[in-house]
Amino acid sequence: EDQVTQSPEALRLQEGESSSLNCSYTVSGLRGLFWYRQDPGKGPEFLFTLYSAGEEKEKERLKATLTKKESFLHITAPKPEDSATYLCAVRDTGFQKLVFGTGTRLLVSP
Amino acid sequence: GAGVSQSPSNKVTEKGKDVELRCDPISGHTALYWYRQSLGQGLEFLIYFQGNSAPDKSGLPSDRFSAERTGGSVSTLTIQRTQQEDSAVYLCASSPAQGGYGYTFGSGTRLTVV
């Protein structure tokens, strides 16, 4: 059974204090690892898809990396507007659905 | 439309009543997904549509839950004889093909069963 575990559950940073969020996964065959951002009262907003170990993608202050067992979302010099819940999900071979982790709640203080 | 639209945004219903939740996907998106998000839980897959057919219904928690999609567009999720444990945010997502590329989610329907 596909499993996704995210850590930490919650993270509090000062503005400008860089850090990383972790997503560990277990799948039979990875057909994509997805990162989403979710703000309170809204649906998840797509950030990145990674397909193979060693792949990296960047968007503004966010950089996602992938290994065979985990993915990291690196946040460089975060700003208060980066505060949100960050969700990781995987898609397994032969399936269309995404399996989500429970997310990391990030709070960036000014 | 520009995004995935869900209605109503909030629904309060009495235990035992039936409810219908609606999802209007992005025009041209052939794949549509329903998820459920309970407080403190991750997103739980319910059902996947490709066109009007549902090749994966494996996440529907009981036979009280059903969904349909018509015209390859609008989808309705129906919950019969609602229970308190059905209280959650129900999210709909669509994508342009079976590839699951960066699903676009709606804002969800918050269902409260009292």
Separation between Cα atoms, residue A62 and residue A72, nearest integer Å: 10
Angle at CA of residue A13, ends A10 and A18, nearest 5°: 110
Provide the mean pLDDT of chain B: 93
Residue A95, min C-alpha distance to chain B (Å) = 9
Residue A62: per-residue pLDDT: 98
Separation between Cα atoms, residue B56 and residue B113, nearest integer Å: 27
Cβ B87 vs Cβ B113: under 8 Å: yes
Separation between Cα atoms, residue B75 and residue A13, nearest integer Å: 40
pLDDT > 90 in chain B, percent: 83
Residue A42: per-residue pLDDT: 93
Closest residue to A96, CB basis, from B4, B98, B107: B98
How far is C-alpha B57 from the chain's CA centre? Answer: 12
Closest B-chain CA to A36:
B102
Residue A12 has pLDDT above 90, yes or no: yes
pLDDT one-digit tens code per residue, B42-81:
899 999 999 999 999 999 999 999 999 999 899 999 999 9
A25 touches B at CB < 8 Å: no
Query: Which two tokens mark B108?
Result: 């969800």
Average pLDDT (A53-78) is: 97
- B23 forms beta bridges with B6, B75
Residue A46, min C-alpha distance to chain B (Å) = 6
Assign B101 a pLDDT band (cuts: 50, 70, 90).
Answer: low
> What type of residue sits at position A69?
K
